[in-house]
A and B are shown apart, each in its own frame.
Chain A
C-alpha cells in the first residue's frame, strides 16, 4: 500500500502524478525533452540509459516501463534488455553507448563518481558535449523519478509482459500530455 492516499487503480508514477497535477506537468515535460525530442542519441539509446539507471536504483516499475519502451525502439527481446542490465560491456552495443552507460552508472552512485577518464573515453568514441550532458541529466532525472516512485511506496504490476505490451503506445504518444488513466 502506498504511503499516502493516492487515486486508486494507477500503477507506479501514475498515482502520485494524478495526486498532484501541478508537479506532474513539468515532470512529464522533462521526460519528453530528454527522452523523445530531437537528439543525436536515438530514442532507444536514451530509453536504455533510463532503464539501466532505474535497474541500478532497483526501481521495478521504472526499469520495466522504460525497458518495455527501449525494447520497442530497439526491436529486441526482453533478454537483450536483461543482458544490458547484467553486463552491458559484453553486449553488442556501440563503444560510444557503452561509455555513456558507464557515465550514467557513476551518476547513479553520486555526481562525484564521474571521472575525467570516463568523459575522455566517451569523447574518444565520438560522444559530443551535448550527448554527455544529456546522459548525465537523464541519469540524474531517473535518480529523481525512481525515488519518487519508491519513496511513496507505489504499487507495480508484477508481470513483465504488462510493460512490454505498453511500450509501443508510450513510444507513439510520448510523455507530454500523458493521459494517466489510459
Chain B
C-alpha cells in the first residue's frame, strides 16, 4: 500500500520528517519499505499554456508558442500527437532536469529553435502503469478545472511535492490497506488523535429500490448493499483525485472507475460500479457459478467459471466474478448514464481461491481475502455516490438495497496486566497499558489486574490475549524492552549420537582432501534412481518447476556427477568432492529418508608436478581412501567385503558392492562409459565414486573404547609369492591364508601383482607379506615356518596355486 504523506495529514497533525516517521512506523507497526519524494532530482518543470500550435510540414512535429509565465511566450518544438493550442501542459525549461537525471537544453530541431520540452508523465518519472490511458502515448494535459498558472512549478499540482510511504503489509495487518486504516495506525504510533470524517449523503433523485429484485446467499456475501445514481456524465476525474490515485499506484481511468478506486483507497472497502442497463430484466443474483458458465472479465480474459466461484448474475448469465473483477458485459462505458454501485463483503476464502484459480488477483480480491472492515460498507457506498454527484454530475436515487446485512460485533478480549508483563518481561502499570489501548482506539475496562479490552471491527486481527500482548509490546516499543537471557534450569545441549558420528565422518573425508558440495534433492526421474543398487519407489512432487527437478533423489552420486559436469565444462578436471545428505524413497507406504555420504574423484592423486610423480586416480586409490575411512571409524578390515557387482550407471566390470558383516552398505567404482559419453563435458574422463549409507554404518559403530598397550614382542614378516590362475581373486586367496595362518597371523598385505610375458599365460603373479605376532611371547622361527607350510599347502591343495 502506497500511502501519501500529504493525504495522511487530512487525518492527523503530523510534524515528523517523513523519513523519520517511516522509521518509527517500521519499528512500531508496519515495515516501510521506502519513503519516496516524487519531485526528487527534478528541476525547472513548470506549467505552460500553449498559445499557438502549428504543424511543421512534412513531419509529425509541431511548432508551439508556449506561455511559461515570462514576458514573452517561448517557442518549443513538440512531437506529441495530442499537443494543441489552449492546453495547459508540463514544460521542461532550458536547464531542466527530468527523469533519469536527463538535462534539457535549448537547441534546434530540424533547424527550428526549441527552447525546452513539453513532457509526458513518464518523462518526469511516472510509472507507465499509473499514467491515464488518454496520455499514455503523448504529453500530459492538465484538466480544465486544475487551477494552474503558467510559470508555476508543476510538482504541487501533480502531487509530486509529497512523500510516498510504502507500507509493506503482512497478512494480519490488512487493516492498513486503506488511508483510514493507515491513519489510525500512524495516529497510535505518534500518539495523535485520528480524525475520520463521517459521510452525510442526501438523495436527490427518485426512489429506485423497486427496480431490482436481489437474491443473495448470506454465506457467500454476508453484507450486500446497492445504490443507484443516474444521469452520470462520464469524463475525466478532477486533478486532486487523479493525483491521489497515481500516488497510490492506481491509474486514473474515468470519473466512475476512479471514484470506486478512490473510495477503496480511502476506506479499504472494494466497490463495484455496474452499468444499470446490465439489470434491465430487474434481477440480480449472487450465487455460486454453474459448471460450464463463462465470463469475459474487464481485462478481456475469458474464464471458464468453477462451481466454487461466487458470481453476480443478471438473473441469467454471470456479469461479475464477486470480489475479483467485473465482467465486460456490465462495464461502465462512455455511453453509460445510470450506474448501480455495489458495496459488499464476500467470503474471503472463496474470493482468494477464485483469484488464485483464475490467476487474476486484484486490489479488490487481495483485500477481501485478507479481510475488510465490516463497519465501512455503508460509508463506502455513500461516499461513492456523493463523489459521483460532485465529479460526474450524477443524481443520487433515493433508497438503497441491503440484500444481506449480517452484523459483526466488536471483539472483547480478556486478559490481565500481569500476563502481558510476564510475556513481555516488562513492569508496566495498568494505567500505562490503558493509555496504550487508548492510543489504539481500543477501550479497556475491568479492574485491578483484569483487563477487558473491546476492539473495534477495523482491527479484525485481534481476538486473543497474545494479540493484546503484541499491541502493548509494539506501542510501548520493542526498543524499550530489556535485553535479557532466559533464566532456566540447566539443560544439556548437544548432538544426537548419530549426528556426532556423521560429523566425525565428514571431518575425516574432508581431511582426506575432499571438498564439500551441496546439491539439489530434486532431480529427474532417471537420475533419481541411477547409481542405485536396488531402486525403490520414488518420491515425486505434484507440480514440479520442470522435469529435471521433479523427483527426490535416491542417491547422492547424481548430484556430484552434475557438479563434475559443471566443473569440467569450465576446465576444472581435478576433482575431489563429497556430499553428505539425505536420499529419499517411498516404500512400504511410507516416505523414508536416509543419510548418505558420497564422494567423486577425477584426475590425479597429486597435482601434476615437475617430478612426474603424479598418478591418475583409479579404483584402488578411491578404495584406499574408503578403507582408511572405515579404519578411522573402528570398522575392522575383516568385516568389510567388496563384491564385484553390476549397478545402473556404473562401469560393469569396475564396480563393487560394499558389504559390512554381510550387509550391503554402498557401492564403489567407475562411472559407466554410457554415462560419461552422453555428457560432452565428461566425455573421456575416468570418474570414480563411492556412496555409503550412513544410517547403517553409524548404527554399526562401537561406542566408546578401551586402550591396549602397544605390543612388547617383535613381529616376524614372511613373503609369499604365488602363481595364480587369473580367475582367482585376491579375496579368495586371502581367505585361504587367513584360514590356515594360525592364531599368530596378524596381517596380510599384497605387495606385488604382475601379469605379463614372464608368466605362464592365463596366470598372474601375486606376492604377499604376512606378519606374525604373538602379543604375549617371543615368536620362534619354527612356529612361523610351520604356519607358512600350512598356508602354502592349503593354497596348492584348494586353489591349485603354485608357490614360487
A and B are partners in one complex rather than unrelated chains:
no
Residues in A lying within 8 Å of B, measured CB to CB:
none
